[in-house]
Structure 1
C-alpha cells in the first residue's frame, strides 16, 4: 500500500471508529470537511502541516499516519510538491510516548506548525545545514550539531533560509494523559 492510500485508510478508520462525521472531524482538526473528504477518497495528499492538524485533532501521534504493516522500507511522507520530507526513525512507542523523525527541508522552504496537544514537547537537532526555528514568535538559527527543546503546544515554525537542504531530527514527546477535546 502506498503512503497516500495508507493515509486515506487511516483517516477514514479513525473517523469511523470514533463515530465522527466529516463535519465533526473538520471541527476537531481545523481542516476543512472538503479536504478531509478528499484525503479519505485518496484524491488529495495533505501537506505536513495539514497532517499535523489532523493528528492533533484526533489526539494521535503523527506517525500513526506513516506506519504501515509493510516492512522492510521505512515509510516516507513526501507529499507532491512538498518542500518537507518526513521519515520516521522509530515507530511510535505507546509506553515511552514518543515519535522520532528525520526531516529534510528544501532551500527557501517554510513550514508553520499549529499548536499540538497540551503537554507535547519537541526536541529538534540539526544534522546538516542551518535551520531557522520560530518559537514563541521569535526566530533563531540552529547550526549543525545544535538542538533545542520547546513546548510543541504553541505555534512554531521551521524555515530554511539557505541555498542547501537542511536535515534535522525531531523527537516529539506526547503527554501521558491526553488533553480533553
Structure 2
C-alpha cells in the first residue's frame, strides 16, 4: 500500500508542476483541502477513491492516469489481455477499492475499472468532468446507485448507464462484498487530457480545457 501511496504522491506533484498550481490553487480546483493534498504529496495519507476522483476531475485527467503514467494509444494490441494493475486502494475508509483494469485509451475515450464495495459501505462521489458517462455492470453481490436523488438497485448481471458529471453515490445493501465493472467514457469536448498536461492537446480539439 505504501508503494501505491508514493506513486500517487509523485503523480500529484507532476500534475501540479504541469499546471504551475500552488496547493491553494489545487485545493480550489479539486475540492480537496490543502492539508489533505499536502499529506498525500508527502505520502502521509492514503486517499479514498472519492478523493482521488476529485483530484482527477480537478486536473481534467482520467482516473486511471493517477496510476498508469503511460496512456494506451492507437496501435496497441487491441486483442491483448488487460494489463495487471495495482489497486487504487485496498479498501479505503469508505469501504471501496478500485483497480484500473483497462487504463484510459485516448483513441476510444474510455477506461475500465473493477470496483469492490464492502458490505454496508456507502461511497459519495462528486461530479466528474462535464460530459463524463459511467456504465456499470454488477459482477457479484448487490449494488445501489443514487443518481439525481433516486436510489436504483442492481443485482449480478444488471447494469446502469448514467451521466456522472453530477453528484452520485454507491452503496452495498448486501451481507457480502459487491463487485462491479465501471466503464467510464470521456467524450470529446469534456476537456479531459490523457496525460500530464505537458504539450498535449485536450480531447476537446482546439478549445481550452476551461480550467
- When normalised by structure 1's length, the TM-score is 0.94
Partner of 1:135: 147
Q: Take 1:173 and 1:140, find their aligned partners in 2: how far apart are those partners?
A: 21
Structure with the higher strand share, 1 or 2: 1
1:79 Cα deviation (Å)?
Answer: 4.9
Q: Take 1:80 and 1:154, find their aligned partners in 2: how far apart are those partners?
A: 24
Partner of 1:29: 30
Partner of 1:119: 131
1:81 Cα deviation (Å)?
Answer: 4.5
**2:210 matches 1:180:** yes
1:175 Cα deviation (Å)?
Answer: 2.3
State the secondary structure of the residue aligned to 1:140. Answer: strand
Partner of 1:74: 85
Deviating above 3 A after TM superposition, structure 1's stretches of 4 or more consecutive aligned residues are 79-82
Task: Give the conservation status (yes or no) of the 8 Å contact 2:112–2:183.
Answer: yes
Unaligned runs of 5+ in 2: 71-82, 192-208
State the secondary structure of the residue aligned to 2:15. Answer: helix
- When normalised by structure 2's length, the TM-score is 0.81
Distance 1:80 1:90, change over 3 A: closer
Partner of 1:156: 168
Q: Take 2:85 and 2:210, find their aligned partners in 1: how far apart are those partners?
A: 32
Distance 1:134 1:64, change over 3 A: same
Task: Give the conservation status (yes or no) of the 8 Å contact 1:6–1:68.
Answer: no
